[in-house]
Each structure stands twice: as C-alpha cells, then as structure tokens.
A and B are shown apart, each in its own frame.
Chain A
Amino acid sequence: MSESIRDKTAVVGVGACQFGENWDKSREDMIVEASYEAYEDAGIDNPQAQIDAVFAGAVYPREGSAEIAEALKIFGKPVSVISDYCQTGTDAFRFAVASVASGMHDTVLVVGFDKPKDRGVSGPSVSFDRVRGLPSTPAGWFSLCAARYFETFGAGREDLARIAVKNHHNGTLAPKSMIKREITVDDVLNARIISWPFGLYDTAAQSDGAAAAIVTRADLAKNYRDDYVLVKAVAIAVAEHPQRDPDFDFLRWKPTIYAAKEAYAQAGISEPFKELDVVQLHDCFTLTELLSYEDLGLCKKGEAKDHVASGTFTLEGELPVNTDGGLKSFGHPTGATGVRMIYENTLQLQGRAGPRQVKNATLALSHNIGGPPTTCGIAILGTP
C-alpha cells in the first residue's frame, strides 16, 4: 500500500527567489519570483490555464489563500495553505503529490514562502502568553538531546562545529544562498552562546525566501521537459512530544525515525546510505544534522561524529549532505525550506547544480523536522 505513491508523479519545474534579509521585497514579490521561475522551468506560459491547483506552505502569514491567489492572479482554482512548523514545505509538496496521484488534478504548483524579517527581531518570536513550557525557543527545544548524547557517545561541540563549517562552505557555491562566507571551527566555538551547546554558528540563518515546484502526472511529464524527475516517496510522521514522552531517551529524534521508515518503504529503499546519492536534511541546528545522519539510517547510532570527522557528508564525500548550504547558509524561511530542498534536489538530479554538483546523482532525499520537535517530512526524488 505504501509503495502506491512511487513514480506516479513528477517534478517538471522548480524555482526560488534570492534568500536573505529581503528588506526590499514583499511576500508577493517572493511568491511571484519563485513561482514564475518554476513556470519558466516547466515551460508553462499560461498558468491560469495550465495550473489546476496551488498548494502553499507558510508559517508566519495569517492572510490565507487570498494572498497567494492575488499574488499569482490565479482565480477560480483551489488554493490551500499548509502551516505546520518546519516541515510545512514538505507537507505542501505531499498534498500536491497526493492530489495529482489521486487524479483530482493534472498539474499543480507548490510554493513555500515566509518573511520572518518583517517582525523587527532577530531569531524566532518569544511569547509570554503562558507560564508553562517557557522558554519555548527552537534552540532550546533542539538542544535537549545534547547533554545526554554527548555523554553517551563522547561527542562534543567540536563535532557540531565541523558541520557548520561544511554547510558554510557549501553555501558559498549556491547563487541564491543567504550567507556566502567560509568559517572555521574556531569561529563556531568562539561565537556567543544562544542555547547551550548552540552558539551563533550552530543555528540556522533565519531569512526571507520562497521556493516553488511544478508537480504533474508522470505520464504527462514529458510534455514539460525531458529531464523530469519522479517522486519516489513523500512521507510525514508525527511523533510523541519529546518533553512529555515517558520513554524518550534524548539520543534521537523520533519523528525522523518514523518518517524515514515510511519513506523508504514507499521508495523501496533498503540501504539508504548506499542507494541515496545526495541528501538535503534539516540542519536547523548542527546537532539536528548530526542526529539526522543516524535517525535517517545513513550511519549507526553514535557513529555520526566519526563520519563528520572523515568527511563522509561533504561535497567530495561518499554521500554529500546539504549541498546548497542547508538551512545554515542558504537560509531558513520556515515555510519555504522544504520546497527549497525539492528545488536543490531537482537541480542535482538534472545535473544543473553548477560547482556543487554531485556526480551522477539519481536518487535524492530531502528532510524536515519541526515543532518541539514532533513532526518530520521526507521527500525522495529520482531520475526516471
């Protein structure tokens, strides 16, 4: 049953606006720039006629579907807005794939966007509307595995720092990334602490941005472009709240483990490290990337730091991870991030990733984890 989504749908166009602190761009600007680039990529010249539905992902806006329809001037069509923490973009993509696979629509637009930089603060908003669960900051949530993981497996801040250094390097090779600056392990270790063990460079760069993808039926894909990519899997899983789960061991994030199992079953993957060629995973914090190597089954629990040291996941390594700089350098407009990963993986599978191109990539995974964290979304794309 879970395999039934495999190869039913295809991505035939992708686009993204420049990520960054886009003081001079509105949400409308970013939605239009990403979507029109995806139209062009797919050869769509009359979206009002050729797009049957829009699936949008965004965390910050409260304006619903009208904002997207107005921006794109697509009317009389269904427009849905999905909002669920950091896996928002992947979930919007999942709804799009499901609607096409079911036969409800032929060709749909997925657009993820967010503009956190209009709020006047750096980092996430802090709320005082309750007394329990404070501080409720993402850095605080994602750092909770640190002390016990470090103690159990002998890892430390230096292992995390190497991940930040890698993603900063990759970001310099992606034209639309927010940060293009090489850093050193010492830079990471000496930066001010945000939530221990996370210093400034252990945290993703919150940014504005939008990314888009065109999803169509696999049998229609050739009408758009010859080098389309197929959707092998798209899975979402919600796990126990890590702050309430009486069995939680603070060594892993369960949402990823649940979603990976489902996604690999859909795609027919049994040895992910061998079968996957490129991975975009949710490096909201360096520790999240470290844990995700293991939680995605790319290596054994406790061995991630050895792979970090040996360079397994660098652009030159056996399995490049976060080829475009990830959330750390490309930027993290929450609702856009999952779709930005689809954008990057599509370029990689089509051989269009320029200096960061992974050779002969045929199978690519993207991964988001969000909430305290409680939810994970995974999409796997492959060449036909």
Chain B
Amino acid sequence: MTGIAAYGAYVPRTRLPLALIAGRVAKEGSPEKAVANYDEDAVTLAVAAALDCLTGIDRSLVDGVYFASTSYRLAEKQGAALIAKALDLRRNVRTSDFSGSLRAGFSALESALHAVAAGSLRHVLVIASDCRMGAPRSALESKLGDGAAAFLVSNENPIATLEDSYAVADELQDLWRAGGETFTHSWEDRFVVKEGYTPNLIEAVRGLLEKSGRQAGDFAHVALYAPDARSLGDAARKLAVGPEQLQDAFFGRLGNTGAAFAPMLLAASLEASKPGERVLAAAYGDGAHALSFQVTEFIQKLEPRRGVQGHLAQRLPLSSYDAYLRARQLDPVEWQASADLGLSASVRFRERDADIGLVGARCRSCSLVHFPRPRVCYGCHTKDEWEPFRLSDRRGRVLAFTFDYFFPAAEPPTTVVMVEAEGCRLQVQLADARPEDVRLDLPVSFCFRKIHDAGGKPNYFWKAVSHQGETS
C-alpha cells in the first residue's frame, strides 16, 4: 500500500513576538510567530525538515525529491537538486520543484504518492517549505510564519496509507506575489475568507468525504489550513468537525507557513496518531486540496523525531523588531554583502561535495577523517586513498570558540567554533547561539544554513548548532 513512511518538520528557533511589531514589550507566553534566522531561507528550512524526516532511514534508498515552496529564490535553478546534494543523496534521483500556489505542498505530496503507486519511483522525499514576508508592520506580517515539513512516500512500511484525495481549482485574487517582489499582497480579509478560503476548503473536504463514502466523524484527526483561528473554527463547524478531532493550527506560536502549512499540520496529526486511526488534511490556495490517510501499526516502529511539536518547543525569541528587520535584510545598510561578486562558479562546482554536502573523506590507509578532502593524508601521508565520509549527520564537540564582532553580520557577534567530529576538525559558525550558551566541549550537530548573499544569490554551507539535551 502506498503511503507516508516517515515524516519530519522544522520550525526555526527564532520567534518574533507579535507585541514587538506593535512596538510593545513582549511578555513571555504572548503570541509570537516563527521567523527564519538571518542565515535561514526556504532551502535551509527544507534541508532541516528532510533531515528530521530521514532520521533512522537509509538515505541511499531515496530516488525522488519533490520540493514545494513559493519563496525559493531562484527561477532558473532548481531547489530540489540543491537539497538533494545537501542531503548527500545519490545522483540518479528524480528532482522536481513545485511552486506557484500555497497548495504546492499537497500537489507535490499527491504527485509523489501517484508516482510511487504507479511504480515509477520507490521512495520519494517530499518537502514543503516557505519563508514568506508581509510588509513590515502590515496586518499580514503578524500572520505569516516560517517552517517546513517533509514526508517520505513509499510502498514499504507506510505509517499512513493514502485512502483518497479530492481537489478543486478556483480563480480569485486573494493572495499573490509577483516575481521579484519581497512581500505578499492580500485583498481585503473578509473577501479572502468569505469568497476564497471557506467555500473552497469546504468543497474539497466534502468532495473527499462524498467520494470515499465517509463522514467527518470517521476521522480521528482533521488538519485544516486556515488563514486565522476564527476562520478555522468556522470551517470546522460547517464540516461538523469537533474540537477533539481538529488539529491545532498553532496560531500565536507558528504563523501561516504558506505551502508548508497544511503539510506541517498533517505532520503534527501523524505525530499524535495511533494505528487504525484516520487522518484528513486539507490545503488551500487557488482552490483547495484534501487528502485522507489511514494510520498503520508501523507508526509505532518509527524512530523518534523532533517533528512539529519538538521544534515548536525550541525557542529563541527576538529581543527587538529591529533584530527581525536586520535578519530579513529589511533595514537600510550602506553596503550589502551581495555587492561582492567574488564567488566563482567553478570553485563552487569543484567544492560542492564539501560545501553543499558536508562530505569529507576517510583515509583508507589509516582511517583518519578529514574535512575537506585533501590529496595527502594528515595521519599517514598516503596520497589519494580516500572514501567519502558524510559529516552532516554526525555529532561533534566544541574545541575552541570566539565571538567575532568585526565580521559583517545581521546579528553580531558571529560565533565561530572549532568542532571535532569523528576525529576530524572543522572550523564553522555556530547557529542560533547566544554567547552565554557557548562553552568548551559543547555537544553540537550540524545544520545547513545560508552563509551570505554574495553575487546577489543565497550561498549555503553548514554550521554547528548546540545539541545539548535534545531528543534526537
């Protein structure tokens, strides 16, 4: 049976308390939204969610990567191929980007389910990720959040099998963003809800129920995209979905994560599911798209992962609205890093295993691990006897650190650490770090982040991130 074999999610640790937008002091526990840190974007969020999804899974099985996002920045360059490289997947992997709609996440998921059901592909990684922005201090700004979800679609040991799907397409100008624009536009809220969201979502869900001969009450978990809490409650009432069935949409904690929103709510429902239960999820955007699943006993064997709830629990609230503006490059600066056009495509090409995949090398003669791969071994001076060694999924510890206030950064200081992992030394930046939390021997894992925008495009590498007291 075709279905979801694993899920994962990612929520940036950085949170913007909504009170800061209004110029008020933020109290602990007051409404907030998740925002990408200065070194995060749709791609890095996608990699993080994919890594969560692939916990305990042999990556060499993955033969497809579908990436859904409305905020991936490049037009003539694929996000899925970059993500596949960061994940160190095999070269003969089918990659596709899905975009153009807030429904793109479910479009990608259903496409993957069909491809696997048809036997064209066997293990497809579907990732939905978005970092959209409302204009500073606009009503929309407080509603949008950043996040990602990932699913492995497979016939083997599915934790939730696809039961049915139904979709409607509609045309209205409710939310849109033209190419090159920074901020999402929205028509008047009541128009969006009354003529767009509510009728489309209800039509898709009712269509699915009718098609599959089921009642809303048959589903233990119903995960519905919604622009706000009130619209969600209204839709649930109209669909006869009770509060015990309705998946929390994390208003005041996460924000609307665009193409990733419905996928994240689906992932959150799976987190709470037991074998035999049914899950219904619906996405909205240019129409609506509903999917239904039945949870299997394999969900009990799935290795623990952070998922949506685990990530929501990890928080680093911003201290000021200015800090948010700097992180998103919305404040005026004299000199943008993107003015530096020094990046060489051929250098990046040669070094893509190291820079994108964090793949080093292990000496076949003395087993010493190096990063990046040199020609001659530090340990035994043997030349050119290497096997690739992926470091991105390893753990390390901090051997040395400094806080660099000189290097231009959105939020100085840049924390630099020397990490030892598998006997190999790496000099990397420490992500999501407060100086007071940094110490010698701090346990770290690795995360894929944007390093700078030189050349007017995002340039990525890995950073270390504190791995203290975390579950996976």
Is A45 in contact with chain B by the CB < 8 A criterion?
Answer: no
B354 and A137 contacting across the interface, CB-CB below 8 Å: no
Give chain A nearest CB distance to B455 CB in angstroms: 8
A139 and B404 contacting across the interface, CB-CB below 8 Å: yes
Measured CA separation A81–B401 after assembly (Å): 35
Given A147-B401, A195-B404, decide whether A135 and B418 contact each other with a Cβ distance below 8 A: no
A196 and B403 contacting across the interface, CB-CB below 8 Å: yes
Give chain A nearest CB distance to B423 CB in angstroms: 6
Interface residues of B in 439-461 (CB under 8 A from A): 440, 451-452, 454, 459-461
B342 and A128 contacting across the interface, CB-CB below 8 Å: yes
B368 and A246 contacting across the interface, CB-CB below 8 Å: yes
- Among residues of A, the one whose C-beta sits closest to the C-beta of B449 is A131
Measured CA separation A248–B427 after assembly (Å): 13
Give chain B nearest CB distance to A174 CB in angstroms: 27
B425 and A126 contacting across the interface, CB-CB below 8 Å: no
Among A128, A137, A196, A250, the most chain B Cβ lie within 10 Å of the Cβ of A128
Interface residues of A in 108-136 (CB under 8 A from B): 123, 126-135
Among the stretches A20-28, A49-57, A72-80, A237-245, the one at the interface with B is A237-245
Give chain B nearest CB distance to A371 CB in angstroms: 13
A137 and B407 contacting across the interface, CB-CB below 8 Å: yes
Given A132-B351, A132-B372, A250-B418, decide whether A146 and B425 contact each other with a Cβ distance below 8 A: no
Give chain B nearest CB distance to A77 CB in angstroms: 37
A131 and B451 contacting across the interface, CB-CB below 8 Å: yes
Measured CA separation A14–B83 after assembly (Å): 59
Is A66 in contact with chain B by the CB < 8 A criterion?
Answer: no
Give chain B nearest CB distance to A290 CB in angstroms: 16
Q: Which residues of B contact A134 (CB under 8 A)?
A: 407, 429, 451-452
Selected from B400, B414, B423, B452, the residue in CB contact (under 8 A) with A131 is: B452
Is B406 in contact with chain A by the CB < 8 A criterion?
Answer: yes
Is A145 in contact with chain B by the CB < 8 A criterion?
Answer: yes
Given A133-B427, A137-B406, A147-B440, decide whether A244 and B459 contact each other with a Cβ distance below 8 A: no
Measured CA separation A245–B404 after assembly (Å): 22
Is A65 in contact with chain B by the CB < 8 A criterion?
Answer: no
Q: Mark A176-217, 1 if CB is under 8 A from B, else 0.
A: 000000000000000011111100000000000000000000
Is A148 in contact with chain B by the CB < 8 A criterion?
Answer: yes
Given A132-B372, A133-B427, decide whether A193 and B460 contact each other with a Cβ distance below 8 A: no
Measured CA separation A133–B423 after assembly (Å): 18
Is B370 in contact with chain A by the CB < 8 A criterion?
Answer: yes
B399 and A250 contacting across the interface, CB-CB below 8 Å: yes
Is A302 in contact with chain B by the CB < 8 A criterion?
Answer: no
Q: Mark A125-163, 1 if CB is under 8 A from B, else 0.
A: 011111111110101100111111001000000000000
Give chain B nearest CB distance to A351 CB in angstroms: 41
Selected from B406, B425, B426, B459, the residue in CB contact (under 8 A) with A123 is: B406
Is B191 in contact with chain A by the CB < 8 A criterion?
Answer: no
Q: Which residues of A contact B400 (CB under 8 A)?
A: 144-148, 250
Q: Which residues of B contact A195 (CB under 8 A)?
A: 402-406, 413
B408 and A126 contacting across the interface, CB-CB below 8 Å: yes
Measured CA separation A250–B419 after assembly (Å): 12
A248 and B425 contacting across the interface, CB-CB below 8 Å: yes
Give chain B nearest CB distance to A153 CB in angstroms: 14
B427 and A130 contacting across the interface, CB-CB below 8 Å: no
A128 and B343 contacting across the interface, CB-CB below 8 Å: yes
Measured CA separation A145–B416 after assembly (Å): 12
Measured CA separation A250–B399 after assembly (Å): 8
Interface residues of A in 241-269 (CB under 8 A from B): 243-246, 248, 250
Q: Which residues of A contact B452 (CB under 8 A)?
A: 128, 131, 134
Given A126-B407, A131-B459, decide whether A246 and B340 contact each other with a Cβ distance below 8 A: no
Give chain A nearest CB distance to B124 CB in angstroms: 29
Given A147-B440, A151-B440, A243-B425, decide whether A132 and B354 contact each other with a Cβ distance below 8 A: yes
Measured CA separation A143–B406 after assembly (Å): 13
B405 and A192 contacting across the interface, CB-CB below 8 Å: yes
Given A128-B340, A128-B342, decide whether A140 and B425 contact each other with a Cβ distance below 8 A: no
B461 and A246 contacting across the interface, CB-CB below 8 Å: no
Measured CA separation A39–B112 after assembly (Å): 79
Q: Which residues of B contact A139 (CB under 8 A)?
A: 402, 404, 406
A selection of 13 A-B contacts at a CB cut-off of 8 Å is A126-B406, A128-B454, A129-B340, A129-B344, A131-B460, A134-B407, A135-B406, A135-B429, A146-B400, A148-B399, A194-B406, A196-B403, A196-B413
Chain A contact residues, CB within 8 Å of chain B: 123, 126-135, 137, 139-140, 143-148, 151, 192-197, 240, 243-246, 248, 250
Given A148-B440, A197-B402, A246-B379, 9 extra CB contacts under 8 A: A127-B342, A128-B342, A131-B459, A134-B429, A144-B401, A151-B440, A193-B405, A244-B370, A248-B425
Closest 6 CB pairs of A and B: A135-B407, A129-B342, A131-B461, A128-B454, A143-B402, A243-B427
